[in-house]
Amino acid sequence: METNWTPVLSDAAGPKYLALARALRDAIRTGALAEGSQLPTVRDLAWRIEVTPGTVSRAYQIATQEGLLEATVGRGTFVAARAPRLGPTQALFVERDPGVMQGRVDLRSPQLPDVGQPGHIAAALRRMADTAVGEDWIDYASQRAEAPLRAAVCDWLSARVLGPMGADDVALSHGGQSAINMVLSICLRGDRPVVLTEDLAYPGFRYAARAARAEVVGIEMDDEGIRPDALEAACRRHGPQVLCLTPDTQNPTTARMGAARRAQVVAVARQYDLQVIEDECYSPWTDAAPALRALAPERVWYVGSFSKSVSAALRFGFVICPTGMGETGRLAAQHGFFALSRSVSALCLDLLQSGAADEIRRGVQAEMGARLEIMVNRLGAFDLAWQAGMPFAWLRLPLGWRASTFMRMAEDEGVFVRSADQYALVHGRAPNAVRLAVAGGIPRQQYEAGLASLARLLPRPPNDMAV
């Protein structure tokens, strides 16, 4: 039965949604809201306490993320059991079962094509066996021993405009997600820190923030990414510590931030003393604009990895730390996992120094570019946003479609896509759109057939909008 719980927020300081979230915590802790109690609907509670439905929705979302509430579609929102599930409740990466995916086209996450990676990696392993494996493989791996790899990373990034950078500014990680977690562990402080992201953003940002017990606040966007006026308003209202964004290759919308907009974002970050995580794992290697780190090297943490250009299996990433913060980044890595596995660091160093990594990257870019062109040719008649060099596109659905319905009907056709809901911070604010990733790991003929299925489906929205 629905409870008539009606908190009093008239004397609460700060944003109303945070005050409501605190009231929920207190009511559950004291037993005023018993386990299994059904909370009022968003609109009903908003009317009772004289706030906007959005305020209630955000408070419910925070409490749900903390494991205090459970939301069930069609039933409502309930107080969760007193012993909520420990750890993450959502998968960040959908593992592909070859048996299940046989004959199907998975456009949910980019898949690198095979452009000779296995042969290059095998050759590197043979060289390592002959020359690199010695007594230093017995003791713990050290940060000091990674210095040549950090220097090789700087050479790898030399074509990009990143500002003053040397091996001492680099910290290594187990992929880009590990790097984001590492930076947040450095920058966040206090009981309930606030992290800002784009309104539609890479889910790994919010998962990492939640793991750090931070609140995530979304910033409104336009066709260049986050709006500086919305960013400044959020800074005034929430007192955030970190901003996470993807200025070159916004995921999922493919937006690209222009030079003037970058300067405005940096100015706001300086004014409010924000640390900035610039995640550019998807960034194209050609025609790259100056990175945010080049504009604000004192506060920008530039994150990259091998996953989108060489091999996702290697789990190799890096952070170009703000000037003077490289040792801090490496100490955070040491506290998290001591150092990279000697086998991974030696393998990645060989791939970089031998030129194999560059050769693989060029091959990947060529094949993924060709497959992106196929996608644009097949679906370009629809509202498709894309950017050369990116392994995904953003499809705004024709009138009559809901993203969730399109996703289910595409799956019936053997094609898997990601709806905008999976990138949205607040339920109900996602547009009717889907992200389409370039699938490089299946035959071109199969890939084209999957895109052709989507092209046939798009002009035929269901008549019953309740589907």
Residue 223 has pLDDT above 80, yes or no: yes
Residue 404 or residue 177, greater confidence: 177
Fold match, 16-79 / 117-354: no
pLDDT tens figures, 119-158 = 999 999 999 988 878 888 888 888 888 999 999 999 999 9
Domain parsing of the chain, residue ranges = 16-79, 98-116+358-457, 117-354
Residue 399 has pLDDT above 90, yes or no: yes
Residue 466 has pLDDT above 60, yes or no: no
Distance CA(376)–CA(374), nearest Å, equals: 6
Distance CA(192)–CA(216), nearest Å, equals: 10
Residue 101 has pLDDT above 90, yes or no: no
Distance CA(382)–CA(397), nearest Å, equals: 8
Residue 23 or residue 371, greater confidence: 371
Instruction: Please state which CATH class domain 16-79 belongs to.
Output: mainly alpha
Q: What is the pLDDT of residue 465?
A: 45
pLDDT tens figures, 156-191 = 999 899 999 999 999 999 999 999 999 999 999 998
Q: What is the CATH number of domain 98-116+358-457?
A: 3.90.1150.10
Distance CA(122)–CA(311), nearest Å, equals: 13
Q: Which CATH number is 117-354's, of 3.40.50.2000, 3.40.640.10, 3.40.50.300, 3.40.50.970?
A: 3.40.640.10
Nearest Cα residue to 349 out of 118, 124, 116: 124
What is the rounded radius of gyration, in angstroms, for the C-alpha atoms of the chain? 24
In the chain, the amino acid numbered 87 is G
